[in-house]
Structure 1
Amino acid sequence: MQGWRSNMEDAHTAILKLSAKKGYSYFGVYDGHSGQNAAKYTGNHLHVRISKDGTFEADLTTAIQNGFLATDDDLKNDPQFQNDPSGCTAVMAIVTPYNEIYVGNAGDSRAVLSEDGIAFPMSHDHKPVNEAESKRIMNAGGFIEFERVNGNLAVCRALGDFEFKRNKNLHAKDQIITAFPDVQKREIKFESTEFLVLACDGIWECLSSQDVVSFIRKCISENKDLHKTCEDLMERCLAKGGELDGIGYDNMTVIIVGFLHNKTEKEWYEWMAKRYGEIGPEYKDDVF
């Protein structure tokens, strides 16, 4: 959803069958800033870089880390994007045939699991005020002003943003802004792990992780499919005015991944609808 912004700078990827990787699925949300080029490029290439990394089968965490840095390097060296100021956060998930979820994150987009209706974080936001992040920023020659990197960026990990990655004496992981992701792994628990939400900060600025999980479960209990649920969630977070800044005015992108647990899609919706109100907290609206 473009929201009230003049341009849509987000991108996303959803691949149920990752090419040449039997049984793997890939999902990603990319929140662009200062233009849409970095987000669009990342959406088209990050999953390819990760899946083709030589460590993919043996060490998926390393493959994800390598894929982020390689995609960032490809973007920097692409003649089409010379002097392009854009950047993007990236949160992605790979579901493996071994009932595992791997989430890689750089920035403040977020991944959250619903475990019996309880929000379980699969990423944490990279903000300049975080101690480890601020230490890296200052060690690389940057500063933090108004809770922003060099008084400019509100996030401190991103692809693109190459004006903050010019220190030739430092590794890509140690630059003022880095594309190096945190990676989390979690087992998909039978009859407990309900769904995964990937969304940009336009959602999380408006609702807590638990509120998002509860809102989604409520929508499903009202016989809404995941497509309609995504629409309703974004409408819930959309501000009612027409300004260009503030909570509820940003671009918004959401992906919800349901885990069937050997059920049909119809059976999964029925199972989820029954659980709402019996297991996990109910959604209580609190308009911002």
Structure 2
Amino acid sequence: MGGLQRREGLVVKILCSKFGPLNFSCNLIETEDSISVHFELGNEYSQAKEYYIFGVYDGHGVHDASKISSQCSEHLPVNIAKNLSKKPRNKEEDIKNAIRKGFAETEQYMKSALVKEAQDSGCTALVAVLGPSKELIIANIGDSPGFISSNEVFSHQVTSEHDVHNKAEILRLRQQKKEKDGVGFSIYRLAPGRREKSWALDNTFSRGMQFTRSFGDFYIKKKAPKSLISEPEITEKYDASDINLLVLCSDGITNRLRAYKRMPTQVLLSYIKKHINKKDPLEEACHELVKLCDLVSQSGYCVDDMSILVIVFLNNKSLKQWCEDATKRAEKPEDWLLYKQHQRYEEDISDISEEDLGVESPKSTISNFDIYDTSNQYSIEEAEEFDDMTIPDI
């Protein structure tokens, strides 16, 4: 069931689908998501041995989103691998520098080879690089998130989503607007009554953007060079020896799981615990995740493409022992599912509250609240969070 790869203490599950039920095919026509899994790519391009590179790419735009995400999945891992050092003095800094250069070179490739396709289309990217001493570093642009689970921290999102719900990104955009000749922009809700927002340049023909970092989208970047950027945000170094599970996914997964207020790592470990006595608990857990996401798709709440990489760090354990250790603190599915176990999966999710589905909260009435002069687009809670935001001197 699904793509499965094993490599020296790793078990990698690959799930990728067009909207609707996940069916484990990474070759569906016109899916805008792509996935990459590379072992020893560094050895092939720079003689940097024992580096593994994983990635999830989410295309977007009016045209060619599928082509752009596919091209990113081919070029970004290679560009990172080319910049790895054979004998680095500092492996952490070497990996981070390789990631930065890899992202910059991929953006440059798109400017030269895909300049027409990428005018009004682009791609977000989420990559993880595992080094020879089990150094794990994750980087992203856009809203595809990464999660880890360890014995110390059961489930934790390790990346930030680059959108207009991110305080740091709002601050960066607002600073750009304050600069001389800076282009103005406004924030809009994606649909009436919805929580999700987009931003768009004022007095241009640009479409609304849900995120603030991406590859491509050169029309917007030309109009406002410092607003939409392709510079990755890079995490701290993690020791894979201490990690049980790494999940990289597109926002099509997390948007669906928001209805259950759970992260992908939590859901997977919960189902692994449920099927702990089965022949392959990981396989069963992935199957359950499929059905859960399908349930949300049937409600019409989210129909975005879904892609997920599930990377298990066995760390010298058998898969059976790993399952037992990794799920010690996991919930039982019935503790958090909003449907009863005896009900059919075809049941809709009409009993989920509006708050769970991201319906907007009451609008802010704070008089001095000002984020791009669009305070009416933020709820009371959001306004309170951003109200103390200070803008640095230009």
**TM-score class normalised by the smaller sequence:** 0.7 to 0.9
Deviation at 1:277, TM superposition (A): 5.5
Letter in 2 for 1:50: I
Structure 2 counterparts to residues 16-31 of structure 1, below 5 A:
16-20=39-43, 21-31=48-58
Q: Which residue of 2 aligns with 1:36?
A: 66
Residue 285 of structure 1, aligned match among 323, 337, 343: 337
Deviation at 1:77, TM superposition (A): 1.0
Is 1:241 aligned to residue 277 of structure 2?
no
Is 1:188 aligned to residue 239 of structure 2?
yes
Letter in 2 for 1:52: K
Q: Which residue of 1 aligns with 2:5?
A: none
CA-atom RMSD in angstroms: 2.7
Is 1:9 aligned to residue 39 of structure 2?
no
Structure 2 counterparts to residues 114-129 of structure 1, below 5 A:
114-116=149-151, 118-129=154-165
Segments of 5+ residues of structure 1 without an aligned counterpart are none
Structure 2 counterparts to residues 206-285 of structure 1, below 5 A:
206-207=256-257, 210-221=262-273, 222=275, 223=278, 224=280, 226=282, 229-238=285-294, 239-241=296-298, 243=300, 246-247=301-302, 249-263=303-317, 267=318, 269-275=319-325, 278-283=328-333, 284-285=336-337
Q: Which residue of 2 aligns with 1:145?
A: 187
Deviation at 1:231, TM superposition (A): 4.5
Deviates more, 1:175-184 or 1:76-85: 76-85
Is 1:163 aligned to residue 219 of structure 2?
yes
Equivalent pairs counted in the alignment come to: 275
Task: Tell me: higher relative CO, structure 1 or 2? Use CA pairs within 8 A at least 6 residues apart.
Answer: 1
TM-score, normalising length: structure 1? 0.84
Q: Percent identity?
A: 25
Q: Which residue of 2 aligns with 1:109?
A: 144
**Aligned CA distance change for structure 1 residues 219 and 68 (closer, same or farther; 3 Å):** same
Is 1:199 aligned to residue 226 of structure 2?
no
Deviates more, 1:153-162 or 1:134-143: 134-143
Kindly name which structure, 1 or 2, has the bigger radius of gyration based on alpha carbons.
Answer: 2
Deviation at 1:14, TM superposition (A): 0.7
- For residues 118 and 76 of structure 2, what CA distance do their matches in structure 1 show? 21
Question: Contact 2:20 / 2:297 at 8 angstroms: preserved in 1?
Answer: no
Segments of 5+ residues of structure 2 without an aligned counterpart are 1-16, 22-28, 177-181, 189-196, 201-206, 340-351, 353-394
- For residues 80 and 230 of structure 1, what CA distance do their matches in structure 2 show? 38
- For residues 93 and 11 of structure 1, what CA distance do their matches in structure 2 show? 15
**Aligned CA distance change for structure 1 residues 277 and 74 (closer, same or farther; 3 Å):** closer
TM-score, normalising length: structure 2? 0.63
- For residues 197 and 78 of structure 1, what CA distance do their matches in structure 2 show? 31
**Aligned CA distance change for structure 1 residues 54 and 220 (closer, same or farther; 3 Å):** closer
Deviation at 1:15, TM superposition (A): 1.2
- For residues 77 and 297 of structure 2, what CA distance do their matches in structure 1 show? 36
Question: Contact 2:59 / 2:69 at 8 angstroms: preserved in 1?
Answer: yes
Letter in 1 for 2:337: D
Question: Contact 2:162 / 2:213 at 8 angstroms: preserved in 1?
Answer: yes
**Aligned CA distance change for structure 1 residues 275 and 128 (closer, same or farther; 3 Å):** same
Letter in 2 for 1:232: E
Letter in 2 for 1:37: K
Measured against aligned partners, the alpha-carbon deviations of 1:69-102 in whole angstroms (never above 9, x if no partner) come to: 2101111111574564221111110111112110
**Aligned CA distance change for structure 1 residues 22 and 91 (closer, same or farther; 3 Å):** same
Deviates more, 1:2-11 or 1:200-209: 2-11
- For residues 212 and 74 of structure 1, what CA distance do their matches in structure 2 show? 33
